[in-house]
Chain A
Amino acid sequence: MAKRKPSERSHGHAPGGEEPLDLDVTPFLNILFMLILSILAMTSWTQLAMLNVAAPQIGGGGGDGGAAPPPDEASALNLTVFVLKEGLNIGASGATLDGNSEARPGQTLIPMVSKDGQPTYDYKKLQERLIEIKKSFTSEESMIISADGTVPYDVVIKVMDAARRSPDGRILFPAVAFAAGVVG
């Protein structure tokens, strides 16, 4: 038999008809497929994050908890965002919020807006107002959320998102506490 050149040898079948020495990669391929499947199954596709929150403030209760951190002493503003059925409202017991002459703690209601035909809370407007408040109270970082009992959790998270950072990345009011007393 004539010796073949290496370039000819590497091809699948020789013109002469002899079986070439071929590595059987099928089991290897099987293993690879199994590996891919197991990795796909083990990978977590939804990436989670955690939002830190402070303990809810309730009057009664008592109990033997005792592990609650002391309330932030520096927080004198008591900025509170009320999530009502008809919109959002901002209040504060420590100071008046509007720079205007109206000497009352609180602002007008931020009404619901229509998004895709559904009424939703106006988080953008809330954030704009919080940015305005932050300009007057630069050291303040805590905020209390109080909501109607029927308000879904999703809305609470969206309010926290709006209050955490301004669009340009400055920190607004990230230290969120919850008022357990349900409003409305």
Chain B
Amino acid sequence: MRGRRPPEHFATISITSLTDMVTVLLVYLLKTFATSPIEIKDPSLELPRSVCNPAPGSGAKEREGGPPPRDGCGEIQETTIVMVTGPKKGRTPRIAVNSDAIIEMDVATYRVPEQFKDPQSGGWVIIPLRDALKRAKEIKEISALRDGKPFDGKVVILADKDTPYRVLSEVLVTCGESGFADFRFAVIKPD
């Protein structure tokens, strides 16, 4: 109809209640906000799940020089990381130190190729990994010296849950050879 006039007021949605809701959500999220010193962004790394549920604050105690938890189940700490990824999503399994890829494993056998191994160690020491860890150790030693603390030799192993035991033992032996003898396995805590 021609003579129709536009309505004087448009119906406005009251966003006050929405603002309330969003604020409550924000407060809730801030409260449950949690960060982890180790971030996993690699989709080919699926950590195993464990029933290990460390006591809150145990990590801080250990950092201050206290003894490690008696049941061997501690909080995650920031230290040298050795990562062993799996053959997921068509990716080649790799071994990385502090997120720098060191070697690629054989996809078919899921093992470290023989040419990377030190024959003098009976095929247990992975040479490129040992070299990378020795470099990482030098850096850690310098920073430990600056802090006035002894080098602790801690290393966190982030391994895919399908990693064969043979590869795992080779990684552990190589870490031990390079001077990192305090191994920690990163696992997912129960919900």
Binding site for B on A (CB under 8 A): 12-13, 17, 25-26, 28-29, 32-33, 35-36, 39-40, 42-44, 46-56, 58, 60-69, 83, 147-154, 156-158, 160-161, 164-165, 171, 174-176, 178, 180, 182
Residue of A nearest to B12 (CB): A12
Q: How many A-B residue pairs have CB under 8 A?
A: 211
Q: Once the chains bind, are B12 and A39 in contact (CB under 8 Å)?
A: no
Contacts of A47 in B (CB 8 A): 34, 36, 188-189
Contacts of B181 in A (CB 8 A): 55, 65, 67-69
How far, in whole Å, are A164 and B71 apart by their CA atoms in the complex? 6
B 104-121 binary contact with A (CB < 8 Å = 1; else 0): 000000000000000011
B41 CB to nearest chain A CB (Å)? 11
Q: Once the chains bind, are B122 and A32 in contact (CB under 8 Å)?
A: no
Interface residue total, chain B, C-beta cutoff 8 A = 74
Binding site for A on B (CB under 8 A): 8-9, 12, 14-16, 18-19, 22-23, 25-26, 29-30, 32-36, 38-40, 47-54, 68-77, 120-122, 124-125, 151, 153, 156, 159-166, 168-169, 172-173, 176-189
Contacts of B48 in A (CB 8 A): 153-154, 157-158
Q: Once the chains bind, are B176 and A65 in contact (CB under 8 Å)?
A: yes
How far, in whole Å, are A150 and B165 apart by their CA atoms in the complex? 6
Looking at A26, A36, A50, A62, the one whose CB has the most chain B CB atoms below 10 A away is A50
Q: Once the chains bind, are B172 and A48 in contact (CB under 8 Å)?
A: no
Looking at A33, A47, A51, A64, the one whose CB has the most chain B CB atoms below 10 A away is A51
Q: Once the chains bind, are B173 and A58 in contact (CB under 8 Å)?
A: yes
